[in-house]
Structure 1
Amino acid sequence: MVNRVCVVIPVHKQHPTNAEVLSLRACTRHLASYDCYLIFPQDLDVSAYTTIFKSLLPRPVTPQWLASIEAYNKMKLDLRFYNMFSAYTHMLTYELDAYIFSDKLNQAHAFEFDFIGAPFFEGYWEAKPDAQLVQGCNSGFSVRNIQSCISVLSSMNKYRKHWIFYKLFLSPSRHIRLWLNRLTNNRYEVFITGRFAFYFDGFHLNEDVVWTEVVPKLFPNFSIADGRSALQFAFEYNLPQSLQLNGGNLPLGCHAWPKHPEFWKEYINFDNLT
């Protein structure tokens, strides 16, 4: 099956920063051969973006979807969002604090998993230099299988009875929760920790944690990139160690590069960044 990829670039303000302009220009260089959609709140003037990337496809969405970080995370867990792009096989999310170095998506394992992004290290953003890779990937620069995401979100309601059971009978008793968790080989961990509440309650959880840590517990066939493959795709933090573990090679791209200028200045031209 031929991979048909769309690129999704979410924005929520009229004018990009200088760093975001650099990110968008890198996207223009390496991803212009794909259908690239600018996702923005209805009625926002996005001419500053389309002037830089002339083939961008404007796709306005309800302003509530981009009203806050929490709302944005909810959008990326909304079946309606994925149905908008159901004509494609894969979605590449390119937030404008991402940067892409080449167009070689196949060589970076972009289509081998249901979700791939910069890998998580133990301790996450507070990871120490000797931290180990752990399951999970960041979504700021990522690729996900659209049909797999649609399948998961279309099947979530079958867990509603488990959620009601948890709320009524399990949540008051730590002993019963732990017993049931052991009985189900830790599968009930998503209920015990409250992480499942992202879907049935007002609980906030970053959507990349949902897709790469919670969903695989409920849908074991939903495949997440292993750490070594993910490093070939993207870096986000623990950068010197990431480079070392990747054999001294740059990944396809990176996320949150403006937070680490001392590392990235060797690889990204900051001349126009003021």
Structure 2
Amino acid sequence: MTSKKQVAVVIPFYKPELTRFEEISLTQCLKVLSAHPVFAIKPESLDLTKIQGNHQLTGVECFEDSYFDGIQGYNKLMLSPDFYDRFLDYEFILIHQLDAFVFRDELLQWCSKGFDYIGAPWLKRLANPDFVKEWKTRLNTRYHIFVNTLENDIPSDRQFDNMVGNGGFSLRRVKRLYDLSIKLAPQINQYHKREEHQFHEDVFWSIEANRKWRRLKIPLYKTALRFSFENRLKQSMMHNSNQLPFGCHAWDQHVKFWTPYFKELGYDIAANAQ
């Protein structure tokens, strides 16, 4: 029996040309993660000839156009066994959307930690001042998730406090998510009926999959902050001892914060934003 390969990087593409920021994201990804296979995923009708002419990709996987028709389509793809089936030769995939950025190659280190899913945590608005209050927040969040507290028929914000995490730059254990995408199909179908962000695919893996039972091994938020930042960036840096994480997501929404860090790596993102 052929052993599984360790990890592949997977980048979603939606259009034949990239913005300046997307070019920065892709260039940095291919530079830093050059030791790993990097696959594009795209709609069947999209021609990537121009992008492939400028960037070296390991391969391209095509899916139905409907999967790339807005956020709802993408959510369906990321919750589909058909998606994970394409990468079953690999133990893990790193989803690297083109609004993500990787600072250094820690990919194999994160694969070795035993987690099934990792992404940037959704930090609560106010940081916990001490260990006791931190555990209180964790227990309260766990309670609100378990009973599925709602506000106007939408999962309450309390369910998201310090939960892990965002899917735009995320490490996923392929076979585990493949199996759960089949086993949890009824719950997934309920998510497909809703368009609110509280029903996005990363919420499903982060919260829904573990709502009653622990089906996925996911790190606590302080460990996840070493993997990626997305929101509350000053707070994220404070929790992470002022160290940059492995990568980040949605950096184009926080240009002022990221400008000095990107400049050190040779990217001027302050000028002519996008």
Which TM-score bucket, shorter chain as reference? 0.7 to 0.9
Give the secondary structure class of the aligned counterpart of 1:267. helix
* Cα offset, 1:219, TM superposition: 4.2
Match of 2:172 in 1: 144
* Cα offset, 1:83, TM superposition: 0.6
Cα separation, 1, equivalents of 2:61 and 2:14: 12
Cα separation, 1, equivalents of 2:175 and 2:43: 25
Give the secondary structure class of the aligned counterpart of 1:89. strand
Q: Could you tell me which amino acid in structure 1 is paired with residue 165 of structure 2?
A: C
Give the secondary structure class of the aligned counterpart of 1:99. strand
Unaligned runs of 5+ in 1: 161-195
Give the conservation status (yes or no) of the 8 Å contact 1:152–1:219.
Answer: no
Does 2:226 correspond to 1:232?
yes
* Cα offset, 1:52, TM superposition: 3.2
* Cα offset, 1:136, TM superposition: 2.5
Match of 1:189 in 2: none
Cα separation, 1, equivalents of 2:20 and 2:268: 11
Cα deviations by residue, 1:8-50 (Å, 9 ceiling, x for unpaired): 1001111110000000011011112212111111121212322
Give the conservation status (yes or no) of the 8 Å contact 1:111–1:143.
Answer: no
Match of 1:271 in 2: 268
Distance of aligned partners of 1:80 and 1:199 in 2 relative to their CA distance in 1, 3 Å threshold: farther
- TM-score normalised per structure 2: 0.78
Task: Give the 5 Å matches for 1:25-174.
Answer: 25-108=27-110, 111-122=113-124, 127-128=125-126, 134-156=162-184, 160=186
Distance of aligned partners of 1:219 and 1:48 in 2 relative to their CA distance in 1, 3 Å threshold: farther
Give the conservation status (yes or no) of the 8 Å contact 1:24–1:96.
Answer: yes
- TM-score normalised per structure 1: 0.78
Structure exhibiting the larger radius of gyration computed from Cα positions: 1
Give the conservation status (yes or no) of the 8 Å contact 2:44–2:63.
Answer: yes
Paired residues in the alignment total 233
Cα separation, 2, equivalents of 1:228 and 1:110: 18
Q: CA RMSD in A?
A: 2.3
Over the matched positions of the two proteins, sequence identity in percent amounts to 30
Instruction: Find the partner of 1:202 among 160, 179, 193.
Output: 193
Give the secondary structure class of the aligned counterpart of 1:225. coil
